[in-house]
């Protein structure tokens, strides 16, 4: 709507134009046509009467009425023009319907209020003057009627206000109500779009969180189980090779395979127990985002127990007895233990045991530590770094040694751990596979290197892996030690 009242591409109610010309709907066009026809008939009749009183040909009055009345057709497009035409024909005492409908449309439109007030005032003034002159002429024609001087102006003013105020006030009310409804509708549409956007974002975040948790849990299960199973396969291959030549060594390898199997079963049972606990908490509305960390803690405790079992035949027998008890005999994961998952996990002090397991499987592994404090053992004494840092280093070494068992049987491996200022570095490098070594036939899912990289980068570290010039393979990781503890 322009300052002159011209609507630009919208209907009377602000809706997009879909009807003929400037009408939003066909029924609006029909209504305006009916009003224009009625106004034309009224103006033609009143124009003929005015022409007769002014001693003009009646045809002139009829033509004037027929020109002024149909202006109501453009009231939705140019309401100001309609009101100006109605003001122009007031002296001819015609256009009552034209003036009433025009003022209503003008007040209900988006024309500035100062223009609406000005045109309404002009209509009142024109009606006042015309009515006063008409009443004065009638009074003068009656010599026996002498009204007070204030009566004629008062009656003229009252008639002007009665003919002008109701359509203007009603139009203002309808326009205000229409704008309020439109604003509420726009606000509701905006809120609906915002809620839809928030719901989409929440769904995306939930899906991302589910995928992240699924990936983390899969990575933990891969790390804690793949190493055990790989060692079992290596020992089984060695057992098959020496079963007839060296029965004593075959018996020893069989015992190691059994120990490794029981260890893997124990870890699986405890991890499944943690997952059930996490699922139950999720059903009750509790957050289960700590499940991977608790899985790592469970794997750490099972690994520590497995190490003791490997070094102690009596403990192996006890473990076998416990393993035969079925899943019911697995120690449940207590709530305090789950709450302390961040403080538990594989530590650097357990690297020696991890390397010892690979040596027991026939691999030649060298472990060196640079920068260790005086009096500390080779791996490290106690917990010097934050649990996530030590756990990540342990998992990198574990997965790297597992890959050596899988892809380079018989190769020599070297594990280097460096304590530097502000960072902790680890490197696992193996030489080329010896031609005489039997391939254990271990399958590879391609997730080991990916999991190591995810672990290291999640802590802000750097991970590099690739083949060496000698035909081996090297895995290196550097982790920030800013979270080191005393």
CB atoms within 10 A of CB 319: 22
Quick one: pLDDT band at residue 445, thresholds 50, 70, 90?
low
* pLDDT value of position 245: 75
* pLDDT value of position 51: 83
Q: Who wins on pLDDT, 128 or 321?
A: 128
Q: Are 408 and 438 in contact (CB under 8 A)?
A: no
Q: Are 271 and 277 in contact (CB under 8 A)?
A: no
Task: Pick the range with the lowest mean pLDDT from 98-112, 120-134, 144-158, 233-247.
Answer: 233-247
The pTM (predicted TM-score) of the whole model is 0.47
CB atoms within 10 A of CB 437: 13
Taking the CA atoms of 243, 244, 245 and 251 in sequence, report the sign of the dihedral they define.
positive
Q: In this predicted model, what pLDDT tens digit does every residue of 245-261 receive, in sequence order? A: 777 777 777 777 777 77
Token pair, residue 350, equals: 């357990």
* pLDDT value of position 2: 44
The distance in angstroms from the start CA to the end CA of the chain is 74
Angle subtended at Cα 282 by Cα 281 and Cα 285, rounded to the nearest 5 degrees = 90
Q: Would you say residue 156 has pLDDT above 90?
A: no
Q: Would you say residue 278 has pLDDT above 80?
A: no
Task: Pick the range with the lowest mean pLDDT from 195-209, 336-350, 364-378.
Answer: 336-350
What lies within 8 Å, CB to CB, of 403 at 6+ separation is: 448, 449, 473, 475
* pLDDT value of position 53: 78
Q: In this predicted model, what pLDDT tens digit does every residue of 385-421 receive, in sequence order? A: 888 888 899 989 988 888 888 888 888 999 999 998 8
CB atoms within 10 A of CB 46: 22
* pLDDT value of position 446: 64
What lies within 8 Å, CB to CB, of 252 at 6+ separation is: none
d(CA 136, CA 436): 132
Q: Would you say residue 60 has pLDDT above 80?
A: yes
* pLDDT value of position 32: 85
Q: In this predicted model, what pLDDT tens digit does every residue of 457-470 receive, in sequence order? A: 988 999 999 999 88
d(CA 431, CA 433): 7
Q: Quick one: which of 75, 168, 171, 163 has its CA closest to 126? A: 163
* pLDDT value of position 13: 44
Quick one: pLDDT band at residue 169, thresholds 50, 70, 90?
very high
Q: Are 440 and 233 in contact (CB under 8 A)?
A: yes
* pLDDT value of position 199: 92
d(CA 43, CA 98): 9
Percent of all residues in the chain with a pLDDT value above 90, rounded to a whole number: 16
Percent of all residues in the chain with a pLDDT value above 70, rounded to a whole number: 71
d(CA 231, CA 256): 9
Q: What's the mean per-residue pLDDT of the chain?
A: 75
Quick one: pLDDT band at residue 184, thresholds 50, 70, 90?
very high
d(CA 6, CA 17): 14
* pLDDT value of position 375: 44
Quick one: pLDDT band at residue 430, thresholds 50, 70, 90?
very high
* pLDDT value of position 284: 45
Top-confidence range, 73-82, 149-158, 192-201, 439-448: 192-201
Quick one: pLDDT band at residue 441, thresholds 50, 70, 90?
low
Q: What is the dihedral of CA 449, 451, 453, 456, to 10 degrees?
A: -140
d(CA 408, CA 382): 32
Quick one: pLDDT band at residue 295, thresholds 50, 70, 90?
low
d(CA 72, CA 112): 20
Task: Pick the range with the lowest mean pLDDT from 99-108, 131-140, 340-349.
Answer: 340-349
CB atoms within 10 A of CB 234: 26
Quick one: pLDDT band at residue 317, thresholds 50, 70, 90?
very low
d(CA 132, CA 383): 106
Matching residue, tokens 């409804």: 181
Quick one: pLDDT band at residue 181, thresholds 50, 70, 90?
very high
Backbone angles phi, psi at 158, to 5 degrees: -65, -40
Angle subtended at Cα 131 by Cα 148 and Cα 112, rounded to the nearest 5 degrees = 125
Q: In this predicted model, what pLDDT tens digit does every residue of 358-388 receive, in sequence order? A: 888 788 999 999 886 444 444 444 447 888 8
Taking the CA atoms of 373, 377, 381 and 385 in sequence, report the sign of the dihedral they define.
positive
Q: Who wins on pLDDT, 340 or 52?
A: 52
d(CA 89, CA 42): 12
């Amino acid at each position: 709507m322009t300052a002159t009242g011209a609507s630009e591409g919208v209907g009377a109610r602000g809706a997009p134009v879909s009807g003929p010309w400037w009408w939003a709907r066909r029924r609006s066009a029909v209504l305006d046509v009916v009003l224009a026809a009625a106004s034309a008939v009224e103006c033609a009749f009143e124009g003929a009467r005015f022409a007769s009183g002014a001693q003009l040909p009646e045809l002139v009055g009829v033509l004037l009425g027929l020109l002024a009345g149909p202006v109501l057709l453009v009231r939705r497009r140019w309401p100001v023009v309609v009101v100006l035409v109605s003001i122009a024909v007031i002296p001819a005492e015609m256009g009552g319907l034209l003036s009433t409908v025009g003022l209503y449309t003008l007040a209900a439109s988006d024309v500035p209020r100062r223009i609406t007030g000005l045109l309404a005032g002009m209509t009142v003034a024109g009606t006042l003057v015309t009515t006063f002159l008409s009443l004065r002429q009638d009074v003068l024609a009656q010599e026996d009627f002498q009204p007070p001087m204030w009566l004629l102006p008062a009656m003229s003013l009252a008639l002007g206000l009665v003919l002008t105020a109701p359509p203007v006030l009603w139009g203002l009310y309808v326009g205000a109500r229409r704008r309020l409804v439109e604003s509420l509708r726009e606000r509701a549409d905006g809120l609906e779009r915002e809620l839809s956007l928030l719901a989409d974002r929440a769904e995306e975040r939930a899906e991302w969180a589910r995928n992240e948790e699924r990936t983390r849990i899969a990575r933990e299960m891969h790390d804690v189980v793949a190493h055990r199973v790989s060692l079992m396969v290596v020992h089984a291959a060695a057992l098959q090779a020496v079963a007839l030549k060296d029965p004593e060594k075959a018996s020893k390898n069989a015992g190691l395979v059994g120990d490794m199997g029981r260890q893997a079963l124990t870890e699986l049972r405890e991890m499944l127990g943690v997952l059930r606990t996490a699922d139950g908490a999720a059903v009750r509305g509790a957050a289960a985002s700590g499940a991977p960390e608790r899985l790592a803690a469970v794997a750490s405790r099972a690994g520590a127990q497995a190490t003791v079992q490997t070094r102690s035949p009596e403990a192996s027998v006890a473990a076998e007895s416990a393993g035969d008890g079925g899943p019911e005999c697995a120690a449940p994961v207590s709530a305090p233990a789950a709450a302390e998952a961040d403080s538990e996990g594989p530590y650097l002090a357990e690297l020696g045991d991890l390397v010892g397991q690979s040596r027991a499987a026939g691999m030649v592994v060298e472990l060196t530590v640079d920068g260790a404090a005086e009096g500390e053992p080779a791996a490290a004494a106690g917990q010097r770094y934050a649990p996530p840092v030590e756990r990540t280093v342990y998992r990198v070494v574990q997965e790297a040694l597992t890959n050596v068992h899988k892809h380079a049987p018989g190769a020599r491996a070297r594990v280097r751990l460096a304590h530097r200022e502000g960072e902790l570095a680890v490197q696992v490098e193996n030489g080329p596979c010896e031609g005489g070594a039997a391939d254990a036939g271990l399958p590879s899912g391609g997730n080991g290197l990916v999991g190591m990289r995810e672990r290291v980068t999640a802590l802000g570290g750097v991970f590099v892996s690739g083949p060496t010039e000698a035909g081996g393979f090297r895995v290196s990781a550097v982790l920030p030690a800013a979270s080191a503890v005393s």
